[in-house]
Amino acid sequence: MKLIYTLLLVTLGMGLNAQNSYQIGMNKAFELWGKGDSAEAANLFERIGSAEKNNWLPYYYAAQLQIIGSFDMADPVLKERKLEKAQEILDQAKQYSEKDNAEVMVLQALLYTSYITLDPSVYGMKLSGTINEIYRKALELAPENPRVIFSKAEWDMGSARFFGEDPGKYCPEIEHSLELFSNFKPEAEFFPDWGQERAKMILANNCKK
């Protein structure tokens, strides 16, 4: 009896231990990100990803950091490298998540959007259709996900601006996403929960004049 008790205790302890290190690691990475050390944060997310196996979240954040970082890069060679790296990591996230994951799809659409900013005449024609299709499918899968609605609206605004149309017509969608953001509960710990601040900013800059 005692032996079983002991074993139970030990296994339980080990189990708790493992979960803790994941939590500690993720929290550490978010803390680094918060402090602005995104290179270190991205590296840590990658390390967690490789240690955890079968968990898409660390790769999701590692990819997100690369994608966000790529948008403002001026050197096209470095930018293309970063995007290739981002795609590599995002592919890992895809591998470990369920097949149609709307959150991962949003990141893929953002990654392609960054490619378009790299050289619109090379990537614009090919990728804009792909991006539209990704958002269409993501919306079908997760019609109430605020990040899907907001990211799609932001993309549509950009396209409208390019074609000389009024981006303002997508403001109601951003407002709708903000409603959903305020009620949004992540599925589990560390699940994606970003976007509200940016949605507010886009709304303030583009809609209420």
Partner 1 sequence: MKAFLILLLFLKLTLCFSQTEISGMVTDRKGNPLQGANVYLENTYDGATTDEHGKFEFSTLSTGLQSIMVSFIAYESYKLESKVEEMNNLEIRLFEDVNSLDAVSLVAGSFSAGENSRVSVLKPLDVVTTAGVAGDFIGALQTLPGTQRVGEDGRLFVRGGTAEETQIFIDGLRVFQPYTASAANLPSRGRYSPFLFDGITFSTGAYSAEYGQALSSVLTLNTINEPVQDQTDISIMTVGGGIGHTKKWDSSSVSLNLTYINLKPYQELIPNNEGYNFQKPYESVAGETVYRRQFQNGLFKFYTAIEHTNFELFQPDENLKDTNLLDLGNTNLYSNASYHGHLGNGWQIMPGLSLSYSKNNIEIDETNIVDNEKAAHLKLKVSKKYNNRLKFYSGLEYLATDFKEDYTEDMVNIQSKFNNNIAAGFLESDINFGKKFALKPGLRFSYLQASESFILSPRLAMAWKVADHSQFSAAYGDFHQNGLPEYLKFRNDIAPEKASHYLLNYQFTRPGYTFRTEVYYKEYRDLIKFSNTEDFVYSDFSNSGEGYAKGIDLFYRDNKSIENLEYWFSYSYIDSKRDYRDFPEKATPNFVATHSASLVTKYWIEDLKSQLGFSYNYASGRPFEDPNTTGFLNEKTPDYHNLSFNIAYLISQQKILYFSVSNILGRDNIFGYQYSNTPGNDGTFSSRAIRQAADRFFFVGFFWTISTNKNTNQLDNL
Binding mask 100-129 for partner 1 (x = CB under 8 A): ------------------xx-xxx-xx--x
Among 160, 158, 134, 159, smallest CA distance to 147 is for 134
Stretch that binds partner 1, among 75-83, 141-149, 172-180, 187-195 (CB under 8 A): 75-83
Measure the CA–CA gap between 150 and 106, rounded to whole angstroms.
10
Given candidates 8, 51, 141, 204, which one binds partner 1 under the rule CB under 8 A? 51
Among 142, 152, 138, smallest CA distance to 195 is for 152
80 binds partner 1 (CB under 8 A): yes
Q: Dihedral of the CA atoms 81, 157, 131, 73 (nearest 10)? A: 0
| Dihedral sign of CA atoms 95, 100, 104, 108 in order | positive
| Residues near partner 1, by CB under 8 A | 2-3, 6, 10, 21, 25, 39-40, 43-44, 46-48, 50-51, 53, 75-77, 80-82, 84-85, 118-119, 121-123, 125-126, 129-130, 132-133, 135-136, 159, 163-165
